[in-house]
Amino acid sequence: MKEMAIRKLNMSLCVVLCALVVVAFVSYYFEMSNEIVLNTLSRQVTALNDENSELQNHLDKLKSFNNVDSKMAQQNILQKAAKVIEVPAVVSNVSLDSKKELTSTVDWSIGY
């Protein structure tokens, strides 16, 4: 009788242990699937951040060009020349020195 009660207790504890193991496996599966989803989202966020940074740089470049272009239009600095001035060539009296031989000042050695 005592052995029968111990056997029933062992069987019930074994069933509870198996149920807990199954619950642990199921929760581990869901945790791993959530981890995969989070890694995928993290990669997408990183890619979007890089793309956003590139687009922001391009936008800043375009804004800068637009600002310079509008300022130049306001100041009217860039104008075509009304008259072309020709200057005669200047004769130079500077003589070129003859080439000097260069010697190596580095003492080369064999090894490291």
Give 72's contacts (C-beta < 8 A, 6+ positions apart).
78
**Within a domain: 11:** no
Is pLDDT at 96 greater than 60 in this prediction? Answer: yes
Is pLDDT at 103 greater than 80 in this prediction? Answer: no
**Whether this model's pTM surpasses 0.85:** no
**Within a domain: 90:** no
**Within a domain: 45:** yes
**Within a domain: 51:** yes
Q: What is the pLDDT of residues 14-67, one digit of tens each?
A: 999 999 999 999 999 999 999 999 999 999 999 999 999 999 988 888 888 777
**Within a domain: 39:** yes
Q: Determine the pLDDT at residue 19.
A: 97
The structure tokens listed for 18 are 């198996």
Number of domains in the chain: 1
**Within a domain: 10:** no
Cβ atoms of 72 and 78 closer than 8 Å = yes
**Within a domain: 93:** no
**Within a domain: 98:** no
Give the number of C-alpha atoms closer than 13 A to the C-alpha of residue 72, restricted to the C-beta side.
8
Give 78's contacts (C-beta < 8 A, 6+ positions apart).
72
Domain range holding 70?
Answer: 25-74
Average pLDDT score over residue span 85-103: 70
